[in-house]
Amino acid sequence: MPSKEKRMSNKKQRNAKPAGNPKPTVNTQSSQLINKPGTTPNRKVPVPAKKGPNIYMIVGAVAIVALFVGLFVLRSSGSSGILSEAKQFADLGQGLHTQTIDDALPIPYNSNPPTSGYHVGSMISPWGIQKEPVSDKVSTHNIEHGGVIIHYKQSLDADSLAKLDALARDLQRRNQCLLMTSRPDDQIDHPIVVTAWTYMLSLDSVDTTKITQFFEELVGKGPEKFCTPLS
């Protein structure tokens, strides 16, 4: 029969836990997520950074806008400038006709040369350079159609007349509705007077720039749209 000490030793051996590796302690802060086979990795998809406006596109757009604004201002200043130098008269009315050149005017002209008013309805001067004076009762019909007339004194010097002649030919190539005609000295207050419907530009010498601007601004702007504006 086993001794008491031996029985106690066997009991301790039975109650003892089997030896083995201790259960590891999981550090939740340092642990990593391990995906199961066949599953999509749990990865954070990077979001592409938003691109700002292309600097070259911005500069190009600003340049285009500035160009259009500059052209508009330049054109507006040129037009308003020449019209501010011209004199505007009251419109006496359109479609006011006499039967012949010899008929008296029911309403006198309000400018010299005339810029509106009565005229012979069946007569109009040919466009271009006319060496002889054209009756006011005829030329007024030309400006009613939207034409521009360059009047000059018959005593105008040859050099000035040559400049006017060249300018008139150049302008008429751009728009046929130009008439150039002489006028008796006692019927014109300045060496050169340019007229359109209700407008008059008086000059003491040939100024090709001002005459051109006046023509560009007012040709084709008469009450009867027979002539086509340049713009």
DSSP 21-88: PPPPPP-TTT----PPTTS----PPPPPPPPPPPHHHHHHHHHHHHHHHHHHHHHHHHHHHHHHHSEE
Q: DSSP class of residue 198?
A: T
On whether both 75 and 102 belong to a single domain, the answer is no
Residues 61 and 99 in one domain: no
- 81 is in which domain, residue-wise? 55-85
Residue with tokens 């419907």: 197
* Same domain, residue pair 145 and 194: yes
Q: Which residues of 47-56 are buried (b: 16+ CB within 10 A; e: fewer)?
A: eeeeeeeeee
Q: How far is the C-alpha of 90 from the C-alpha of 78, rounded, in Å?
A: 23
Residue 27 has pLDDT above 60, yes or no: no
Same domain, 121 and 209: yes
Mean pLDDT, all residues of the chain: 82
Which pLDDT band, with edges at 50, 70 and 90, does 59 fall under? low
Confidence tier at 231 by pLDDT (50, 70, 90): confident
Please indicate, yes or no, if residue 161 is contained in any of the structural domains.
yes
Q: Indicate if 111 and 169 belong to the same structural domain.
A: yes
**Rounded Cα distance, 53 and 55, in Å:** 6
- Count of structural domains, the chain: 2
Omega before 113 within 30 of 0, i.e. cis? yes
**Is the same domain home to 136 and 157?**
yes
More confident residue, 28 or 183: 183
Mean pLDDT of 4-11: 56
Any domain includes 59: yes
Is 43 a residue whose pLDDT tops 80?
A: no
Residue 230 lies in a domain: no
111 and 138 part of one domain: yes
Residue 32 lies in a domain: no
Are residues 79 and 92 both part of a single domain?
A: no
CATH number of the domain that 184 lies in?
A: 3.40.30
Contact assessment for residue 97 and residue 125, using Cβ atoms and an 8 Å cutoff: no
Please tell me the least confidently modeled range out of 64-73, 148-157, 187-196: 64-73
